[in-house]
Structure 1
Amino acid sequence: MKPVSGAHRTAPPSSTYRLQLGPSATFSDAAGLVDYLSALGVGALYSSPVLQAAPGSTHGYDVVDPTRASAELGGEEGLRELAVRLRERGVGLVVDLVPNHMGVAEASANPWWWDVLRHGPDSPYARFFDIDWDRGPLLLPVLPDEGDDGAKALAELVVEEDCLVSAGRRFPLAPASGEGDPQAVHERQHYRLVSWRRGNTELNYRRFFDIAELAAVRVEDPEVFAATHRAVLRWVTEGWITGLRVDHPDGLADPGGYLRQLREAAPGVWLVVEKILGADESLPASWPVDGSTGYDALRETCGVFLDPAGESALTELSTVECGSWDPRGVARECRRMVGERLLRAEVRRIAALVPAPDQNRLEQAVIELLASFPVYRSYLPEGRDAFDEAVATARSARPDLSAEIDAVAGRVLARPDGELATRLQQTSGMVMAKGVEDTAFYRCPRLLALNEVGGDPARFGVSVEEFHRRAATRAAGWPATMTALSTHDTKRSEDVRARLAVLSEVADEFGAAVRKWSARCALPEPTLNLLAWQTLVGAWPIEIGRLRAYLAKAAREAKLRTGWTDPDPDFDAAVAAWPQAVHADEDLLAEVAAFAGRIREPGWSNALGQKLAQLVGPGVPDVYQGTELWDLSLVDPDNRRPVDFGLRRILLRRLDSGWLPPVDGSGAVKLHVTATALRLRRNRAECFQGYRPLWSEGLASNHCLAFARGRHAELVVVATRLPVGLARAGGWRDTVLPLPGGGRWTNLLTRRPVTDSFAPMADLLAQYPVALLLREET
């Protein structure tokens, strides 16, 4: 097979477009979209994983064979044809890389795992997986459990064709071990099939979070790195792949070491990491990467469109409806619960590395320490401050465990590159993600626009000053980092958040509406009830089935009245019935529709503002599939619904004929903003250097977000903030925006000249709530 001709480019892409590959979006389907993406102005197609995933996988993160391209997606030939097509149109290819784990749900689909099950520690692949063989046979939590710890399932084991079979699932037999009673055969294996309930407490292999079907890989081993990356690195060398996005680096034993090894193996690619950064956290300076995948930028870009004046009313609503408002306390409680219940197996493996007379107390100390980290992970020795803060917080919370906490901390600091330090840091990120993103975010419904990956429900938005400060820092320090508004992991789409941001401007009105609506049709759990009403108006109009599926997931993630492993059938039934009950009450439904209608247009204004700010701001902007039009998706799998690219092609052609779309429900204006900004990024890279805050002057100056880009500040972004308050105050009135450097400007969105160096905001934003100005060349 011939490589793609020509040397692959090494410069960061001007932008990326995220496409979720899967059964309905193969390499061939992606190739069919290349002309559209090129016309849109996209710099690189950014795909989900392309390696061979588990049978029927809809997302590709459960890779079972990293040595080959996914057959379901079209195999290596399909990948090559996609790469050729992209190259012909000048578009790069960025691929999601999953170094932390592999899929093992269907053992026979993963040849390495299958060999480990058959040969145990003697398998050449035994070292590939993070297995604690000192604790005996490999525990596989796969058996159904009818309250008997899997005893019935064990009694029904059968031996067929050199395999042990349980409920249709097949597991290999060790050589010469298949004679006799199936239960006796089972006892001869290098593994033990156990109840699925034991996975969170007794597992002796590391997982991805609490998912036993994803077994962690020891990619820090050079042999494992070479085997798992051979295919991808070959495609990089041949020029098929121009960028890599590394999934979940915090799960690795040595993230920095891994990234240095990857950079050495692929020196020419654009390299970003899926690293969740806290509001006051930055990437480790020693990582040889171009940046993160942009959740920090997401928090800032969405947060600047929130009205801080609404904080007290929304806090009161949440307090009255749901109880005391303490998001930091809730998050800590949830992290502790995750360590206690979901990740107890990992806790025990950590505690076993510290000699102690009372192992239970030591496990409690480990749980408290894991729950106390201020960040997802400390990177010792660089992250010593974060580690010290975790130790101090844990000791303050549990003074009775101070001796045990100190024992753990002392051993960690004595050997920051040792196994104890490594496992503690690997697990802290898991505790944070499962405790905060997947639990606390569903228990803190003050304003759901804040409850996003990388966000903080306790921080009510971002000031204009903070937005400018952080954008300038990004331009200076991380100019090639990715920025995002929606991803496959976000809890709700950018346009849902933009509409929910309007609630901060109508907080009293929303509070009154919720109390009235709840009196007619409330869910039986207060936090889910407040979450449900926000979801309804934020994603309105939403089909009953989509809302029902979302609320079922939200209720289980919150783990208050039901859960994934311990469901409450009566509560689940009440949640499932709620969407239909709301729709059946015609008066109630009319009120909800009317309220959603009142915040719809301000939500559009916010959506256009945050979109333009992201697309033109510092970094490499990513557009999640379909979000070039209005997209009111909720959490996965809702955000993986098919995208109507035919409609988008039609609208883009209309735009190219000179049509200036209205701001309406079609979303064509968002496509107009997106295409204009992406094409400019691709064609005029010099306009996207540096960053300069701009400040409007006049009575409504607080409602303007503006900044300049370019060597000579030749590109200016203008966006409307807090549109409801702006309208209440009488509009822009005397407000003007001083433009930098003088000269004549063109508003690329309206195609109209701007000649006044003190541009009246009322004129500048007469047609659209955003403007993109380019100084004419002299």
Structure 2
Amino acid sequence: MTGAVSPSTPSSTYRLQLRPEFGFGDARDVVGYLHDLGVGAVYVSPVLDATPGSTHGYDVTDPRLARPALGGEEGRLALADAVRACGLGFVVDIVPNHMSVEVPTANPFWWDLLAKGRASQFAHWFDVDWARDRILVPVLGSADDLDALTVEGDQLVYHDHRFPIAGDTSGTPREVHDRQRYELVDWRRGNAELNYRRFFDITTLAAVRVEQQDVFAAVHAEVLRWVADGDVSGLRIDHPDGLADPTAYMQRLRAAAPQAWIVVEKILHPGEDLPQSWPVDGTTGYDALGEIFGVLVDPRGEDALTSLAAELGQDVDYAQVEQTARRLVTDDILVAEVRRIAALVDDVEAGAARAAVAETMIAFDVYRSYLPQEHAHWHAAIATARQRRPDLGEALDALDHQVTSDPSGELATRIQQTSGMVVAKGTEDTTFYRYTRFVALNEVGGSPDRFGIGVDELHDLAAARDAGAPGAMTTLTTHDTKRSEDTRARLAVLSEVADDFVAHVRRWSQQCGLGEPSLELLAWQTLVGAAPISDERLVDYLLKAARESKLRTTWTEPDEPFEQQVREWPAAVRAAVGDEVDAFVESITPHGWTNSLSQKLLQLTAPGVPDVYQGTELWDFSLVDPDNRRAVDYGARRTMLARLADGEVPAVDETGAAKLLLVQRTLTLRRDRPELFRGYTPLRAEGPSADHAVAYSRSDDLVVVATRLPVGLAEAGGWRDTTLTLPSGTWTDVLTGEAVDSTPVRLAALLDRYPVVLLVRDADAS
């Protein structure tokens, strides 16, 4: 990857979550609004045929078809025409790593595999371990349920599930089953015995071997046709870490779509970079999310929040919590994957090989290594594993030697594919629900033990992106974020009022405790951060969080009494301390608005291609999916946008109109005057409140100023005599239209109406 950008790189993107209730036609209807909003490209969730009823589209069943439930090929073409007519780009999310097998009748390739086994023409599409002759399908409620099978024509039926019958149908349904190339078993056997590679721990998503050239061609043909026809200008690649050879995949994709803008959902941990061998424009922006949010966090709040977590009974040793959670994944969830990898280690006893494989994957400080191009992360993981388990020295030596001697071999490939599964399931999907001292930091690609970053570091990271990946996407909210940007922005205020919040939680917990410290801390922060929130939304979220944490209850073994306590919690809180909670939320909400506007302006003006997630052009206090896939009221947004077009300069209030103004004016400027957004130079305020300003220029003629740590700023008496020196000339605030012609300028005057300002120097002055 170089610092160059692809020819189709958009000025910005707007993410639309398509689903049967909001298909191609509905998306077409909002294209005009998105153009008026200043968007550069429409960016949609996966649109290929998917599991019937899918609300997200990542469970693709047939990559040859535009999804009929969204409007099919006719609807897709109409949407593409509307996008083109408005002069916008069109970015499509694609899923190369896996396909859904939840409904076998919906997936013709899987259906053929089940019917014919190894003889299927699609057998090499899926990563099946044929050491077991039959494909294990963990779908039964219990082993005795084989007696519940029925035969209907040429299909074997189990409740709503249908499977193909190869050969004659004589005998009992169970006897028919026993002659098939697949074996239906108790669903509980899946984690330990599954003999096909899956996506994470989801047995209904079977991995696809796109490293095979004919498989790549078949599953990409339709989308690449759209690119060739000019209907699609950009591709977002889902989960590249599950691929056997990500580098070869990216090179093949780039060769097939040389003009396209390509970004990858690669989660970069702090300090990690994309492999230089990937010919892509960058990531989908989780790294930028963490950096921009991090500068809004007050590190002085860390001790109080940590003490509260410990006092309530939470383990506050993040490394230990994470290690324990990852070990749970290797030992209880991904057992089949660990066994399959361990069987490839030569001359090591099976138990020792399994332990060495598991320990190495647990030890990764990133999702995976990229052998043979890059070795550092592999060597670091092996070293950590040796330190933690000296008793596995010989097994780890053998594993290391075999992997590094043949970095493209099956052992190296499989352990690299699977380490990302261990990290994702162990960290993002488990640890982030256990280590909840300050949940605003618990975001994909983030480090919850790293309590914010400084302004200088933010500048360094932004300058590095400008130099190395100017075409990378930047984001604040996605379909996968644990919390929306505005929820996190309000939670950031807690880092500034930590002592006050801690005192409140101590009192509230005495009256309305949940009895499980991780969920209890998460619940109070959620109640405060996402307010106003209905009981139904709050309960749905807390139940998901409790099950993901796997402490008191799980998805597969629910603790019903505990879950009932969770269901009753919102009403109990409202009755006991509801007024206090409301008053606390009211006290921090204006500061949360300041944080929201600041981080949005930073994202929209910083190096990279900013994405706006659907609906977040207004305040949006969403939580993790499916909460963040709720319908968006575009009618209300159109009405509000029309008022702004008529000259309204709104106040910062509960309507969110000020955020809409910021988004519309900034996106439009990026689209209309791209030359303003080149380069990156930090600017330094001078004076008593200088530390509360984040300022930089993107060119000689554009300056950005945002406010950070607004509580501390107010307590210090505001901006006082703090100033910022601008280049000579007359400047105009893009948000308000007001002129600024003196320098140095006092920030108290510059930031009088809004906590942010976007200045453009008049043409005659430049």
TM-score under structure 2 normalisation?
0.98
Equivalent-residue separation in structure 1 for 2:380 and 2:61 (angstroms): 39
Query: Match for 1:748 among 731, 734, 747?
Result: 734
Contact 1:524–1:574, Cα closer than 8 Å, also in 2: no
Which residue does 2:375 correspond to in 1? 384
CA distance, structure 2, for counterparts of residue 63 and residue 759 of structure 1: 55
C-alpha displacement of 1:381: 2.0
The within-5 A match list for 1:60-75 is 60-75=57-72
Please list the CA deviations of residues 96-144 of structure 1 after superposition, one character each: whole Å capped at 9, or x if unmatched: 0100000110000000000000011000001011111122210000001
SS in 1 for 2:467: helix
1:34-49 → structure 2 map (5 Å cutoff): 34-49=31-46
Contact 1:688 1:709 in 2 (8 A): yes
Partner of 2:149: 157
1:323 and 1:477 map into 2 onto residues whose CA distance is 40
User: What secondary structure does 1:772 align onto?
Assistant: strand
2:505 to 500, 505, 514: 514
CA contact (8 A) 2:136 2:183 kept: yes
- 1:682 is matched with which residue: 666, 671, 678? 671
Aligned to 1:3: none
1:198 maps to which residue? Answer: 189
Following superposition, the deviation at residue 235 of structure 1 comes to 0.6
Q: Secondary structure at the match of 1:766?
A: coil
Q: Quote the Cα distance in structure 2 between the aligned partners of 1:70 and 1:23.
A: 9
Shift of 1:313: 1.2
Determine if contact 2:101/2:206 at 8 Å carries over to the other structure. Answer: yes
- Cα offsets for 1:334-361 (capped at 9, x unmatched): 1111111111111011011113453122
- In 1, distance between residues paired with 2:219 and 2:348? 41
Distance in 2 between residues matched to 1:389 and 1:157, nearest whole Å: 51
Tell me how far apart the structure 2 counterparts of residues 312 and 180 of structure 1 sit (CA, whole Å).
70
Secondary structure at the residue paired with 2:658? Answer: helix
- Matched residue SS, 2:206: strand
Cα deviation code 1:173-224 (max 9, x no counterpart): 11x2421122221111111001111111100000000000100000000010
Q: Are residues 1:287 and 2:274 paired?
A: no
Amino acid at match of 1:251: G
721, 724, 737: which one aligns with 2:724: 737
Deviation readout 1:464-514 (Å, 9 max, x if unpaired): 011000000000110000000000000000000000000000000000000
User: What are the residue-to-residue correspondences of 1:430-579 with 2, within 5 Å?
Assistant: 430-579=421-570
* Structure 2 CA distance for aligned equivalents of residues 161 and 695 of structure 1: 76
CA distance in 1 between partners of 2:609 and 2:181 (Å): 48
Q: Distance in 2 between matches of 1:704 and 1:408?
A: 51
Choose which of 257, 263, 267 in structure 2 pairs with 1:272: 263
Structure 1 window deviating more from structure 2 (93-102 vs 396-405): it is 396-405
Give 1:213-612 correspondences, 5 Å limit: 213-356=204-347, 358-585=349-576, 588-612=577-601
The residue aligned with 1:6 is none
CA-CA distance at 1:567 after TM superposition: 1.4
In the aligned structure 2, how far is the partner of 1:57 from the partner of 1:229? 21
SS of structure 1 residue aligned to 2:363: coil
Report the Cα distance in structure 1 between the residues aligned to 2:349 and 2:159, rounded to whole angstroms. 40
> Offset of 1:524 from its aligned partner?
1.6
Distance 2:653 2:373 in 1: 50
- Aligned-partner Cα distance in 2 for 1:534–1:548: 14
Question: Among 128, 138, 149, which residue is 1:141 paired with?
Answer: 138
- Decide whether the 8 Å contact of 1:356 with 1:362 is kept in 2: no
The SS at the match of 1:192 is strand
In 2: Cα distance, 1:397 partner to 1:525 partner: 29
| 8 Å Cα contact 2:348-2:395 kept in structure 1 | no
How far, CA to CA, are the matches of 1:193 and 1:584 in structure 2? 50
**Contact 2:731/2:740, CA 8 A, preserved across alignment:** yes
Q: Give the partner amino acid of 1:575.
A: V
Q: 631-640 or 405-414, which moves further after superposition?
A: 405-414
User: What is the rounded CA distance, in whole Å, between the counterparts of 1:135 and 1:697 in structure 2?
Assistant: 71
Provide the C-alpha distance between the structure 1 equivalents of 2:327 and 2:192, rounded to a whole number of angstroms: 15
- Which residue is equivalent to 1:721? 708
**1:157, 1:182 within 8 Å by CA — same for their partners in 2?**
yes
Query: Which whole-Å CA distance do the structure 1 matches of 2:133 and 2:363 have between them?
Result: 32
**Structure 1 counterpart of 2:81:** 84
Contact 1:719/1:769 (<8 A) preserved? yes
Deviates more, 1:596-605 or 1:131-140: 131-140
Deviation string 1:149-188 (CA, Å, 9 cap, x unpaired) is x2221122122211111123110011x2421122221111
Which shows bigger deviation, 599-608 or 329-338? 329-338
* Whole-angstrom CA distance in 1 between matches of 2:36 and 2:482: 30
Q: Deviations over 1:642-684 (max 9, x none)?
A: 0010010000000000000000000000000000100000000
**Aligned match of 1:623 in 609, 612, 617?**
612
Contact 1:304 1:467 in 2 (8 A): yes
Q: CA deviation at 1:383?
A: 2.8
| CA distance in structure 1 between the partners assigned to 2:105 and 2:155 by the alignment | 10
Which residue type is aligned with residue 774 of structure 1?
V
Q: What letter matches 1:360 in structure 2? A: G
Partners of 2:313 and 2:484 lie apart in 1 by 25
Q: Which runs of 5+ in 1 are unaligned?
A: 1-8, 145-149
Query: What is the Cα-based RMSD across aligned positions, in Å?
Result: 0.9
Could you tell me which amino acid in structure 1 is paired with residue 694 of structure 2?
L
Residue 618 of structure 1: SS of its match in structure 2? coil
Once the 2 structures are TM-superposed, how far is the Cα of residue 316 of structure 1 from its aligned partner?
Answer: 1.2
For the 8 Å contact 2:314–2:435, the answer to whether it is kept is: no
- Which of 739, 751, 754 aligns to 1:765? It is 751
Separation of aligned partners in 2, 1:767 and 1:664: 12
* 1:124 aligned counterpart, secondary structure: coil
Which residue is equivalent to 2:3? none
Give, in angstroms, the shift of residue 308 of structure 1.
1.1
SS of structure 1 residue aligned to 2:69: coil
Contact 2:154-2:164 at 8 Å conserved across structures: yes
Q: Which amino acid aligns with 1:770?
A: V
- Structure 2 gaps of 5+ residues are 1-5
Q: Which residue of 2 aligns with 1:5?
A: none
Aligned pairs for 1:696-711 within 5 A? 696-710=685-699
Give the match for residue 121 of structure 2.
Answer: 124
Q: Is 2:685 aligned against 1:693?
A: no
Q: What is the letter of the counterpart of residue 32 of structure 2?
A: D
* Structure 2 counterpart of 1:159, one-letter code: V
CA contact (8 A) 2:441 2:447 kept: yes
Residue 590 of structure 1 aligns with an amino acid whose one-letter code is D
Query: Any conservation in 1 of the 2:315–2:321 contact (CA below 8 Å)?
Result: no
Once the 2 structures are TM-superposed, how far is the Cα of residue 333 of structure 1 from its aligned partner? 1.2
- How far 1:569 moved relative to its partner? 1.1
Provide the aligned length of Structure 1 versus Structure 2: 759
Mean CA deviation greater in 744-753 or 616-625: 744-753
The TM-score normalised by the length of structure 1 is 0.97
Checking the alignment, whether the CA contact within 8 Å between 1:164 and 1:173 is kept in structure 2 is: yes
Point out the more displaced range, 605-614 or 558-567.
Answer: 558-567
CA-to-partner distance for each residue in 1:691-738, whole Å, 9 max, x for gaps? 01011000000100111002xx21111111100000001000010011
SS in 1 for 2:131: helix
The answer on whether the counterparts of 2:97 and 2:240 sit within 8 Å (CA) in structure 1 is yes
Q: Distance in 1 between matches of 2:347 and 2:322?
A: 29
Contact 1:177 1:188 in 2 (8 A): no
Distance 1:471 1:88 in 2: 34
Identity over aligned pairs, percent: 58
